[in-house]
């Protein structure tokens, strides 16, 4: 991933230095278990643990000659260890090391992403409480529908992010898995017990069965969780972009004091952060296609997946962390124009109350189809002629014959729509929850 979208801690996870260190961690863990079985001399293990190191530049130099990165790595390590290096990589094939070590990288990358998600959840909860009673018009098909609150948008996003976190945790568990089953997965040179012990030592799961590689449905599941995560971010960013439009003007993403919006138009304050989130989310979703294609390999393995994974795994996790932090920043400092929200209520001239009016007429014994036509004709007239809907309704002979003016006035009440908002909050956050992620997530 280009530096523009790369945070330093994630860059370290996928660096050559960390990758080779994880390879070495796997090799040493195998040596430790073999030594415990007395299949490696204790003094050889001590020599390996003391002297085993590598040089990235040396590995790359060797690889240019041998065209094999694991052999280049082992050669570099052996140059430092000496005679005892013959016990390193004993009974292993390259992918035993690569796939198992990669699980350790996924574990580190996932921890970084999860930390960002937890922070985003905290922000969503905080903003949901802050704007719990901030009324605004809800829109369907992009048109005014019925009232809602800004807080409920945050509650909706919070609930979705909690599902994202659960999917992400499950996918992380699936991908943080090792294998030491050998060239075709039959444990010809090492046995399943050793694999289990090594993986436990490394703090990861082990595959019940594998071929020469871990099956790539695990990795596709992980990339799918990131793709869905990105789609959530895109959805939220798109909502903010719509609400920031000049014609709406209800919210605005943060805009710095020295920030400039356009090289040609000084008046512009463009939603560039949200547009970036939408654009990069498309890239994140795109990685999933490659991950799905990587599931299909020849027989016990080929390496058509390998080259693609060198790109999609670092880039997908890097973007996931970056986008989570970006969205967190946007939402934490979101500028809300409550006056504009109330002003926009007036654009429909009261016709947004057509729903409760329709229901009240049916309660009075009017057939629903008749009531619908009576209410609709007044709503359309209100819009076309720019007249007050409430007054038109009072003047309609069909409606006024069933509803007194005072009854009509009671219908035009914002509280009618918002009376159950607190109940929704209880369903999502739970009664008495302190609002912290750890407390809410338990529920």
Q: For residue 190, give both structure tokens.
A: 């090492």
Q: How far apart are CA 389 and CA 136, in angstroms?
A: 19
Residue ranges with strand state E in 111-221: 135-140, 143-149, 177-178, 205-206
**SS3 (DSSP) at 380:** helix
- Helix (H) / strand (E) element for 301: namely none
Q: How far is CA 26 from CA 122, 205, 247, 267, 436, in A?
A: 36, 13, 59, 57, 37
Q: How far apart are CA 224 and CA 291, in angstroms?
A: 8
Catalytic residue of the set 55, 262, 306, 354: 262
User: Alpha carbon 377 to chain centroid distance?
Assistant: 45
**SS3 (DSSP) at 139:** strand
**SS3 (DSSP) at 55:** coil
Q: For residue 4, give both structure tokens.
A: 């523009």
The answer to whether the CB of 361 falls within 8 A of the CB of 152 is no
In DSSP terms, 278 is beta-bridged to none
Whether 262 is a known active-site residue: answer yes
Q: How far apart are CA 88 and CA 79, in angstroms?
A: 12
The answer to whether the CB of 70 falls within 8 A of the CB of 97 is yes
Whether 242 is a known active-site residue: answer no
Which residue, 208, 175, 185, 179, is CA-closest to 291?
175
Q: How far is CA 157 from CA 115, 152, 235, in A?
A: 17, 8, 9
Catalytic residue of the set 57, 125, 126, 141: 141
Which residue, 226, 207, 371, 390, is CA-closest to 312?
226
Which long-range contacts does 59-64 make (Cβ < 8 Å, 24+ apart)?
59/16, 59/20, 60/16
Alpha helices for 333-367 (secondary structure H):
338-345, 354-363
Task: Show which residues are catalytic.
Answer: 141, 262
């Amino acid at each position: 991933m280009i530096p523009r979208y790369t945070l330093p801690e994630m860059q370290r996870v996928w660096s050559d230095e960390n990758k080779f260190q994880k390879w070495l961690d796997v090799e040493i863990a195998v040596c430790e278990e073999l030594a415990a079985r007395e299949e490696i001399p204790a003094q050889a293990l001590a020599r390996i643990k003391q002297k085993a190191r590598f040089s990235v530049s040396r590995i790359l130099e060797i690889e240019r000659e041998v065209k094999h990165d694991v052999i280049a790595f082992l050669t570099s390590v052996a140059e430092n260890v000496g005679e005892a290096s013959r016990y390193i990589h004993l009974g292993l094939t390259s992918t035993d090391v690569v796939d198992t070590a990669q699980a350790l990288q996924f574990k580190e990358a996932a921890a970084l992403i999860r930390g960002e998600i937890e922070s985003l959840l905290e922000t969503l909860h905080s903003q949901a409480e802050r704007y719990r009673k901030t009324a605004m018009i809800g829109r369907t098909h992009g048109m005014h529908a019925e009232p809602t609150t800004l807080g409920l948008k945050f509650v909706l996003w919070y609930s979705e992010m909690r599902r994202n976190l659960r999917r992400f945790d499950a996918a992380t568990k699936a991908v943080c898995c090792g294998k030491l089953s050998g060239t075709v997965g039959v444990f010809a040179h090492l046995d399943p017990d050793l694999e289990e012990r090594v993986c436990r030592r490394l703090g990861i799961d082990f595959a019940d069965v594998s071929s020469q590689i871990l099956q790539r449905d695990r990795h596709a599941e992980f990339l799918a969780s990131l793709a869905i995560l990105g789609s959530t971010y895109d959805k939220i960013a798109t909502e903010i972009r719509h609400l920031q439009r000049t014609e709406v003007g209800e919210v605005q993403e943060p805009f710095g004091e020295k920030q400039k919006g356009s090289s040609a138009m000084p008046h512009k304050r463009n939603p560039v952060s949200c547009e970036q989130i939408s654009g990069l989310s498309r890239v994140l979703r795109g990685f999933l296609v490659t991950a799905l294609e990587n599931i299909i390999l020849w027989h016990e393995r080929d390496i058509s997946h390998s080259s693609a994974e060198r790109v999609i795994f670092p880039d997908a996790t890097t973007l996931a962390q970056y986008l989570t932090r970006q969205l967190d920043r946007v939402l934490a400092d979101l500028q809300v124009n409550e006056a504009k929200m109330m002003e926009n209520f007036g654009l429909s001239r009261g016709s947004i109350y057509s729903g409760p009016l329709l229901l009240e007429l049916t309660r009075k014994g009017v057939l629903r189809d008749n009531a619908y036509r009576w209410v609709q004709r007044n709503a359309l007239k209100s819009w076309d002629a720019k007249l007050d809907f409430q007054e038109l309704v009072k003047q309609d002979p069909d409606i006024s014959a069933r509803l007194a003016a005072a009854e009509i006035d009671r219908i035009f009440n914002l509280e009618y729509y918002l009376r159950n908002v607190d109940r929704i909050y209880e369903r999502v956050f739970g009664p008495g929850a302190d609002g912290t992620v750890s407390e809410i997530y338990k529920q």
